[in-house]
Amino acid sequence: MKKLFLVAMVAVFCMAPLTQISAQPKEAVNQELSEHPRIAAAITNLEDAIAYMESAPHNFGGHKAAAIAECRKAINQLRKAMAFRARREGK
């Protein structure tokens, strides 16, 4: 149950930057993600890594919090890149 709650919280947290990126419709950003599957896979892998680290009982030698924060920053930048492409292409 705790793991499910953590995964749900990560999903909510990770979607928040998408609403802050721009006024681009979510569909346009999703279209860009479908056209750039490696970026979409990177976002998914980073989200999975965050969920794994958050549920891990250890702190990875003191690097856990920073690693999670940097993964979130990377996800945000990747989403911003896709939003930029969507705006630039007029989608």
User: Do the domain assignments include residue 68?
Assistant: yes
CB atoms within 10 A of CB 81: 15
User: Do the domain assignments include residue 18?
Assistant: no
User: Do the domain assignments include residue 50?
Assistant: yes
Residue span of the structural domain in which 90 resides:
29-91
User: Do the domain assignments include residue 7?
Assistant: no
Per-residue pLDDT tens over the stretch 40-85: 999 999 999 999 999 999 999 999 999 999 999 999 999 999 999 8
Per-residue pLDDT tens over the stretch 11-34: 555 555 544 444 557 888 888 888
What does the block give as tokens for 73? 């920053």
| Number of domains comprising the chain | 1
Contact 64, 53 (CB under 8 A): yes
What does the block give as tokens for 66? 């920073």
Q: Which amino acid appears at position 23 of this protein?
A: A
User: Do the domain assignments include residue 73?
Assistant: yes
Listed residue (18, 12, 11) closest to 79, CA to CA: 18
